[in-house]
Structure 1
């Protein structure tokens, strides 16, 4: 794929009863915070922005982290916006509302 900036919405929905689901979500957000990807935590998902390869690696890293921590089950809901001939940023899409 290309090296342009893309953005994505990542929502982790733990399907667990061993602990409160927010604890797993907090750990997933910590993985995002340690990455080199720009992010904004929201009430329902976290929006990330970066090079295609970095965002895709981050999505993989979150899933691998949850697996390594033995989260029993989760749904990873991801929306990705890609522009084939240039960057696409969150600011570009929301600036008129600020």
Structure 2
């Protein structure tokens, strides 16, 4: 069980106004490859785990956007930190 839920919306500034979807897909693949629990939603992706590890994933996502040619990246982040543990289902399970 992790002590944090972190939601991220990543908004890369693309070259020449290119479509951002390939960039977002690449950012999500970094989350997928990390092995953590996550859920993709229409406007953001929520991750569950250790806060330091989740922030490291966000760092890698931002760096990858620059490697792909983005001039800059805006990352909108929401954090729920609960030292005794938290699961996404604790908050949304009743809706499933």
TM-score, length of structure 1 as denominator length: 0.85
What SS does the aligned partner of 1:71 have?
coil
The corresponding residue for 1:88 is: 86
Residues 1:38 and 2:41 are matched in the alignment: no
Segments of structure 1 that go 5 or more residues without pairing to the other structure are: none
TM-score, length of structure 2 as denominator length: 0.86
Segments of structure 2 that go 5 or more residues without pairing to the other structure are: none
User: Aligned pairs, how many?
Assistant: 95
The corresponding residue for 1:9 is: 7
Q: Contact 2:2 / 2:87 at 8 angstroms: preserved in 1?
A: no
Residues 1:68 and 2:67 are matched in the alignment: yes
Q: Contact 1:31 / 1:61 at 8 angstroms: preserved in 2?
A: yes
CA RMSD of aligned residues (A): 1.7
